[in-house]
Amino acid sequence: MGKKTDTTIENRVYLFESLASSYVASATDVLSSEDPAVRQRARRALAELAFVSCVLADTSHLPAEQVRAQVLGAPERVPESPTKVSGGARKRNK
């Protein structure tokens, strides 16, 4: 099982490196822009490439249609840290 995890991580890294290097080569102007909003959009694009790389590596056993659906679908919510308590989580006594 550890070997599969190692392979998945290697695939994620390989895919991201390949996708990101192509993006960086074509988007150097936006990545080095003086406008913070433009740079933020470029970083978001890199984050999307990282997400796609993970989905592709993690779903290599699925048919292409299911992988496509997962790439186009909304990513799962990351659970909040257990030590962080939001204001709405507390019960109020009435």
Name the residue ranges covered by the structural domains of the chain: 2-74
pLDDT at 4: 58
Residue 8 has pLDDT above 60, yes or no: yes
Segment 24-45, tens digit of pLDDT:
999 999 999 999 999 999 999 9
Segment 45-82, tens digit of pLDDT:
999 999 999 999 999 899 999 999 999 985 555 445 45
pLDDT at 90: 47
Compute how many other C-beta atoms are within 10 angstroms of the C-beta atom of residue 54. 18
Residue 11 has pLDDT above 60, yes or no: yes
